[in-house]
Amino acid sequence: MNKINWKREARLLPGYLIVGVWVVFTAVMLFWIVGASFSTSREIFSGQIFKFESGFHFENYITAWNAQNVSVFFANSLLYSVISCVGVLAISAPAAYVLSRWEFTGGKTLRIGLVTAMSVPVIMVIMPIYSLSVQWGIKGRVLLVILYILLRVPYTTIYLLDFFSTLSRTYEEAAYLDGCSGPKTFLKIMLPLVQPAIITVTIFNFMSVWNEFFMALIFTSSESMAPVGVGLLNIINSMKYTGQYGGMFAAVIIVFLPTFLLYIFMSEKIIAGVTGGGVKG
């Protein structure tokens, strides 16, 4: 362990203060919400939440989970996120592989198209998509899953493409000499080699779909298919009538937990991924 150089630390004190205040503020906010999620509405309003005089109100979570339908929203979000993560890989990984390996007619155009699509605002696409979905009679959960998959294709393809291009071609040459077909080489040899990139991109896709709000608001016609974001908004809007503040804060925690836990365990990977892909100076 290094000896602490107090002179040096003292010079850095303003720095510690700056980031310290910010982080303490964040922590206070989170702790308070957790405290409130175990309290009654009366305790929240009288500022008594951390005394727990009337005990821990775990039933807030049960109320939120059952009566306020958080279980439904949670299951929906899980369903949307998991299926779209798998679906988008099935579309993006093969394309990323061949785009990184061969020059061919239209390859460059496709690549530019994918990069451009990453910064197309969603508002430019929702109206035609809405009318197409009505015309083709696709709706509900199926529609949302399809949209989430298609929405994540450009980012996923470009991210994987960068990784495939770092792999040596000797793998394929060896496989070819052994009589392994192109698609088989891709599945059995190349895909396992980019596994770390697949994990990172899947974490990002998962969080992005889990937190998606705009499309969910437009394309979910009933509460039974709403994901967590839209569901939480509904809970808050009905707060006026229910007065269940503890239940609402419990719902906030339930919505917040999955991505937060993922982050606790994978923050290094996630942070490296944020600036690793598209962001270059």
Partner 1 sequence: MRKNKAMIFWFCLPALLSLVLMFVYPVCRTVLMSFFQVESVTATMADWSFYGLGNYTKIFGSASFMISMRNMLLIWFVGGIFTLAIAMLMAVTVTSGIRGKKFFRAAIYMPNIISAVALATMWIQYIFNYDYGLLNEIVQFLGGDKVKWLGTDLKFWAMTGSFIFGSVGYYMLIYISGIEGIPQDLYEAATIDGASKVHQFTHITLPLLKGVMKTSVTFWSINATTFYLWSKMFSPIDTESSTIVPVIYLYDIVFGGKGITKRDAGAGAAVGVVLTLIIIVVYLITERLFRGSDLEY
Residues 228-247 binding partner 1 (CB under 8 A) are: 228-230, 232-233, 236-237, 245
d(CA 56, CA 51): 10
Site string for partner 1, 72-101 (x = CB under 8 A): ------------------xxx-xx-xxx-x
The minimum distance between CB 56 and partner 1, in angstroms, equals 19
Number of residues that bind partner 1 (CB under 8 A): 101
**CA angle centred on 199, ends 178 and 89, rounded to 5°:** 70
1 is a contact residue toward partner 1 (CB under 8 A): no
Q: Which of 10, 62, 75, 120 touches partner 1 (CB under 8 A)?
A: 120
**Amino acid identity for residue 139 in this structure:** K
CB of residue 62 vs partner 1: minimum separation in angstroms? Answer: 19
Q: Footprint of partner 1 on residues 30-69 (CB under 8 A)? A: 30, 32-33, 36, 44-47
Query: Which DSSP helix (H) or strand (E) runs through 82?
Result: helix 70-101
Surface-to-core class of residue 37, CB atoms within 10 Å of its CB (0-12 exposed, 13-18 middle, 19+ buried)? buried
Compute the distance between CA of residue 36 and CA of residue 275 in angstroms, rounded to an integer: 35
Q: How far is the CB of 22 from partner 1 (least distance, A)?
A: 6
Cα distances (angstroms) measured from residue 167 to each of 42, 172, 189, 216, 277: 61, 10, 11, 38, 16
**Residues of this chain, 133-192, that bind partner 1 according to CB under 8 A:** 134-135, 147, 149-151, 153-154, 157, 169, 172-173, 176, 182-183, 186
